[in-house]
Chain A
């Protein structure tokens, strides 16, 4: 007997079959998503191994000398990573010297000073900086910023700071605009949105009662931020800085445009130089011998290892605050 609009009751056998089918599908679905997740895990390892494999010829030929040799000679087939490593570290350092204080200022503004209606649009605008593709930074750098540096900033630095003792040699050089300082500044601008968004997010996690207590006993905004907010969020702030550092170390296109692509080891920040990523981007398609290609891939492996360590440290630092915030709540 069937009632219209209601499905007929199913037999015990049909019920059993349906349960079996559901169980099978459940298992199947679980296998698929687990496989996808393991794929993520494996891909990072595969990336590292493939570059180690591609760079093995360079590592075998040059050994540890690859790390501190400044040779880069395609004709005599001698390659060393010192110049690109130096350029990568120096430009990233300049970038962080700019980005860290500025990002701190921006997050201070966005969390404590700005009126509520201003916070969302300003933070959205700062985050737009992160969305602009790096090749656009590169073109802007090459066609607009490099001429500006060459015409105004570099000559001034060369004239006024160049003659000074100790720091002077850093700022002596031709007014060409291309070089370490320009690349460092462009990198700094690119890193600001990443560091400031982490800082802003962790500043917000500070319990309101901590800040209000400090204000209640008469602290100024600056004292609250410096003595309450920063100590509370210290590990995450360092994590955010490392995250930015990881970006700065691996950034490719913008640096390629403004660094000058010269295998030159010079103390001056106004001289052109090279970085790991820029060397690879510039020379990869021109590499005419297997050892040249292998050296470039070996450079990529070094970059991968360095950024992996920096980013892993960043993650650990960031997770530490997240855990503590969880305990407080």
Chain B
């Protein structure tokens, strides 16, 4: 084999490896999705959305868990989004090239990939221990700390995409800066910011670790936000590790619903991004 052939065969091996690696990645995706569908679809039933979580060994639904999850995710978005948009606005409009801005961006990026269980412990120390009990509020606040960095990041990036002349035109007309931000920039960046919120929602709807010791779980209907509250991920966690077949089926059904929700949210935000790009180019 001469030198040229050696180089060619090396190149060939690398290409085969690259294609193989791609198939390797897609293979796991297919396997996991197939498992979720094949085990979750048969377990789906109407009672899932009308019945409460059952006592050990009995059959039931996930009504209170769905309600608790929706409640906590909704609250988390309501808490995290305004703060996130505010911080993102500061970074993009007031601190684009400052040292403080760089430091906050750095911290935000770390927060973005910080282990979610650490957030759970943080809120446990901050809220559960002083209040003396687990609560939906604590769960919502824990989730809002996961929403926050996602929204900060997307708001910052989307505002940076808005062309500078748009700001200058508005300022030249004598519009004060806060009105420029609220009435010009937020409108221009709206689809991007909404994408960020959707991405955040997709992330928190399946998050288990942060709610595990903040909202805990509740077999019954939580009558207020100050009580331990059932939520889908923690119910899945407990039921999957239980010895009962009924509970496994319920866990798979819950897993199926959550996965589909996350995938739909992910695809929607991807579509929004693709649509948003056209209008700027």
Given the known interface contacts A37-B91, A139-B252, the answer about A252 and B113 at a Cβ–Cβ threshold of 8 Å is no
B2 to chain A minimum Cβ distance, whole angstroms, is: 14
> Complex formed: what's the CA distance from A322 to B263 in Å?
31
Could you list some 17 contacts between A and B, CB below 8 A?
Answer: A26-B176, A26-B177, A30-B178, A33-B87, A39-B83, A54-B125, A103-B21, A108-B18, A113-B18, A126-B26, A129-B29, A133-B259, A136-B258, A253-B208, A253-B209, A307-B115, A315-B109
Q: How many angstroms from the CA of A41 to the CA of B100 in the assembled complex?
A: 10
Q: Which residue of A lies closest to B175 (CB)?
A: A22
Give B24's nearest chain A residue, CB to CB.
A102
Partner of A140, one of B15, B36, B93, B179: B36
* Interface membership of B136, Cβ < 8 A: no
User: In the complex the two chains form, is B87's CB within 8 Å of A39's CB?
Assistant: yes
| Cβ of A189 under 8 Å from chain B | yes
User: Which residues A282-325 have CB closer than 8 A to chain B?
Assistant: 284-285, 297, 300, 303-304, 307-308, 311-312, 315
A-B pair number, CB within 8 angstroms: 265
The reply to whether the CB of B157 lies closer than 8 angstroms to some CB of chain A is no
Contacts of B56 in A (CB 8 A): none
B89 neighbours in A (Cβ, 8 Å): 33, 36
CB of B95 within 8 A of CB of A109, answer: no
Task: Given A50-B126, A102-B25, A113-B19, decide whether A128 and B209 contact each other with a Cβ distance below 8 A.
Answer: no
A68 in contact (CB, < 8 A): no
Chain A residues within 8 Å of B118, by CB: 47, 51, 250, 300, 303-304, 307
Residue contact B22 to A105, C-beta cutoff 8 Å: yes
- The chain B residue with its CB closest to the CB of A22 is B176
A44 to B266, CA, bound (A): 27
Tell me, yes or no, whether A137 is within 8 Å of chain B by CB. yes
Report the nearest A residue to B22, measured CB to CB.
A109
Among B125, B148, B263, max chain A CB count under 10 A is at: B125
Which A residue's beta carbon lies closest to that of B202? A131
For A109, give its contact among B19, B91, B125 (CB under 8 Å): B19
Given contacts A220-B7, A222-B14, contact A277 B255 (CB under 8 A): no
B244 at the interface (CB under 8 A from A): no
Contact of B10 among A34, A222, A297 (CB under 8 A): A222
B107, A33: Cβ atoms closer than 8 Å: no
Return the CB mask of B222-258 against A: 1 if under 8 Å, else 0: 0000000000010011001100000010011001001
- One of A4-12, A153-161, A241-249 contacting the partner: A241-249
Q: Mark A99-114, 1 if CB is under 8 A from B, else 0.
A: 0011111101110111
Query: Given A105-B22, A126-B25, are A300 and B116 neighbors across the interface (CB < 8 Å)?
Result: no
In whole angstroms, how far apart are the Cα atoms of A32 and B119 in the complex? 24
Whether A40 contacts B107 by the Cβ 8 Å rule is: yes
- Known contacts: A32-B86, A132-B262, A133-B207. The answer to whether A40 contacts B178 by CB under 8 A is no
B108 within 8 A of A: yes
Point out residues on B near A: beta carbons under 8 Å: 7-8, 10-11, 14-15, 17-22, 24-26, 28-29, 31-33, 35-36, 39, 82-87, 89-91, 93-95, 100-101, 103-104, 106-111, 113-119, 121-122, 124-126, 129, 145, 148-149, 152, 176-179, 181, 202, 205-209, 212-213, 216, 233, 236-237, 240-241, 248, 251-252, 255, 258-259, 262-263, 266, 270
B21 x A101 contact (CB < 8 A): yes
**Inter-chain contact B177/A136, CB cutoff 8 Å:** no
- Chain A residues whose C-beta falls within 8 Å of the C-beta of B259 in the assembled complex: 132-133, 136
Q: A25-B178, A43-B145, A136-B32 are in contact. List 5 more A-B contacts (CB 8 A).
A: A127-B266, A220-B8, A223-B11, A225-B14, A312-B106
CB pair B251 A124 closer than 8 Å: no
B240–A257 touching, CB < 8 Å: yes
A window 221-266: CB within 8 A of B: 221-223, 225, 243, 246-247, 249-253, 256-257
User: Which among A23, A112, A139, A315 is the interface contact of B110 at CB below 8 angstroms?
Assistant: A315
Contact A252 B208 (CB under 8 A): yes
With a cutoff of 8 Å between Cβ atoms, the chain B residues found around residue A223 in the complex are 7, 11
Q: Which of B33, B85, B208 has the most CB of A within 10 A?
A: B208
Residues in B with CB closer than 8 Å to A112 are: 18
Would you call B21 and A102 a contact (CB within 8 A)? Answer: yes
Pairwise interchain contact A125-B87, C-beta atoms closer than 8 A: no
Q: Are B148 and A43 in contact (CB under 8 A)?
A: yes
Q: Which residues of A contact B86 (CB under 8 A)?
A: 32-33, 35-37
Q: Please indicate the chain A residues that have their CB under 8 angstroms from the CB of B262 in the complex.
A: 131-133
Could you tell me if A122 and B117 are in contact, using CB atoms closer than 8 angstroms? no
Is residue A196 within 8 Å, beta carbon to beta carbon, of the partner chain?
Answer: yes
Q: Shortest CB–CB separation between residue B260 and chain A, in angstroms?
A: 11
**Inside 8 A of B248's CB, which chain A residues have their CB?**
143
Residues of A within 8 A of B207 (CB): 133
A252 touches B115 (CB 8 A): yes
Contact A250 B117 (CB under 8 A): yes
Q: Is the CB of A124 within 8 A of B270?
A: yes
A37-B104 in contact (CB<8A): yes
**Distance in Å: Cβ of B170 to nearest Cβ of chain A:** 13
Which residues of chain B come closer than 8 Å to A103, judged between CB atoms? 21
The residue from A34, A133, A143, A246 contacting B113, defined by CB atoms under 8 A apart: A246
The smallest C-beta distance from A107 to any residue of chain B, in angstroms, reads 8
